[in-house]
Amino acid sequence: MPKIHELSENLTNQIAAGEVIERPASVVKELVENSLDAGATRIRVDFIDAGLKQIVVQDNGTGIARDQVDLAFTRHATSKINNEHDLFKVATLGFRGEALASISAVSHVEIITATEGAIGVRATFSGGNKKGQEDSAARQGTKITVKDLFFNTPARLKYLRSPRTETMKIVDIINRLSLGYPHVSFTLSNTGKVILRTTGNGNLKQTVANVYGRHIAEGMEEFQAKDSDFKINGLMSKPSLTRSTRNFISILLNGRYIKNFQLNTAIMDGYGSKLAARHYPIVVLAIHVDPLLVDVNVHPTKQEVRLSKEKELSRLITSAISNALVEKVEQTSAFSNL
């Protein structure tokens, strides 16, 4: 039996990267979530070759101080939580301090960043090693360029799907995040060609129009409800406007796009028999809740979360949707039948 020894930091970062960074869309998700946590109001994402050749995310957020850049790329280093109490009330999208370390372990990264009124910095990392750093005359905000993703982990490359599918996954994550942040203007481009742009004017219906098209936005109605723990609001399609998959249902919990079967079912229950079999509505559901009721520390990508009072929330969602159907949709269709 060979001797036991500690793995190098580079190797542990590469292993950890396997959990957080599955594919190009994971890089996009992590970088954009960082931009949102940094308070950005404008975020540009540009990718080439389904994100494998290059991904650029640029924001106008707080920026990172010059002497903190190395820490930002160190695993388990974060500005977002301080102690074990904070872990139970996470209000930011990130908190694990893993993304930048993981991304830089499996690609070539350049960061250009500046905080307000400070001299900016440009630093480069490759395969987990720092390559260089110099001053830069950047404006406040952060621009991160990720090149040749998985260049040093060929097994991961083989596991990826077709360029078309990987591209769709990038588009999907930006769609959901723009729906969750109507106050933020997103621009997504593929090899320089803009494929999505949201105004960021705070209007959810406008954002739905940007993401899914004006026709769909016009076929949607607002709904909202609250109880002592939860506040929910969003847009829902009329029962006549459906899709053949559940992919047009987006659930955002305190701004975090989550996948949750129970809550999906609660939405469908709200429509009840008004939906034909295998027809799914288009819904954007924003849930606001005290972070104390949510455990986001369940899965590295944080798309699955554990929710206290999930049953109560489900009931609230079902009744909000069925009430809105009665109040708005049926009344307007009664009108149009006159």
Instruction: Enumerate binding residues for Mg ion (CB under 5 A).
Output: 34, 94, 99
Please, are residues 70 and 110 in contact by the beta-carbon 8 Å criterion? no
Of 78 and 237, which CB lies nearer to ligand ADP in the complex structure? Answer: 78
Question: Which DSSP helix (H) or strand (E) runs through 102?
Answer: helix 99-105
20 binds ligand ADP (CB under 6 A): no
Q: Which of 12, 41, 79, 322 binds ligand ADP (CB under 6 A)?
A: 79
Pick one of ligand ADP, Mg ion, none as the site partner of residue 234 (Cβ within 5 to 8 A by kind): none
Q: Which of 24, 94, 120, 180 binds ligand ADP (CB under 6 A)?
A: 94
Of 61 and 94, which CB lies nearer to Mg ion in the complex structure? Answer: 94
**With the C-alpha atoms ordered 82, 85, 90, 96, is the resulting torsion angle positive or negative?**
positive
- What minimum distance in Å lies between the beta carbon of 93 and ligand ADP? 7
Q: How many CB atoms lie within 10 A of CB 224?
A: 12
For residues 41-70, which are near ligand ADP according to CB under 6 A?
A: 59, 61-64
Q: How many CB atoms lie within 10 A of CB 241?
A: 16
| 41-to-111, 222, 250 alpha-carbon distances in Å | 19, 24, 21
- What minimum distance in Å lies between the beta carbon of 4 and ligand ADP? 29
- What minimum distance in Å lies between the beta carbon of 288 and ligand ADP? 21
Euclidean distance between CA atoms 320 and 318, whole angstroms = 6
Please, are residues 302 and 87 in contact by the beta-carbon 8 Å criterion? no
Pick one of Mg ion, ligand ADP, none as the site partner of residue 120 (Cβ within 5 to 8 A by kind): none
Please, are residues 112 and 143 in contact by the beta-carbon 8 Å criterion? yes
Positions of E strands within the chain:
42-48, 54-59, 108-114, 120-126, 129-136, 141-147, 185-190, 193-197, 220-226, 230-237, 242-243, 249-253, 256-258, 280-281, 283-289, 294-295, 306-307
Q: Which of 29, 96, 122, 302 binds ligand ADP (CB under 6 A)?
A: 96
Q: Which of 51, 97, 200, 234 binds ligand ADP (CB under 6 A)?
A: 97
80 binds ligand ADP (CB under 6 A): yes
Pick one of ligand ADP, Mg ion, none as the site partner of residue 26 (Cβ within 5 to 8 A by kind): none
Q: Which two tokens stand for residue 94?
A: 């990130």
- What minimum distance in Å lies between the beta carbon of 91 and ligand ADP? 12
Euclidean distance between CA atoms 27 and 265, whole angstroms = 30
Which residue's CB atom is positioned nearest to ligand ADP?
A: 94
Which residue's CB atom is positioned nearest to Mg ion?
A: 94
Q: Which of 95, 181, 223, 280 binds ligand ADP (CB under 6 A)?
A: 95
Question: Which DSSP helix (H) or strand (E) runs through 134?
Answer: strand 129-136
Q: Which of 14, 26, 34, 178 binds ligand ADP (CB under 6 A)?
A: 34
**Of 32, 122, 16, nearest to 74 (Cα)?**
16
CA atoms within 13 A on the CB side of 38: 28
- The CA-based diameter of the chain, rounded to the nearest angstrom, is 84
Pick one of ligand ADP, Mg ion, none as the site partner of residue 52 (Cβ within 5 to 8 A by kind): none
What mask, x for binding ligand ADP by CB under 6 A, covers residues 115 to 154? ---------------------------x------------
Please, are residues 176 and 93 in contact by the beta-carbon 8 Å criterion? no
108 binds ligand ADP (CB under 6 A): no
Do you know the residue count of the chain?
338
3-state secondary structure of 235: strand
Binding site for ligand ADP (CB under 6 A): 30, 34-35, 38, 59, 61-64, 72, 78-80, 94-101, 142
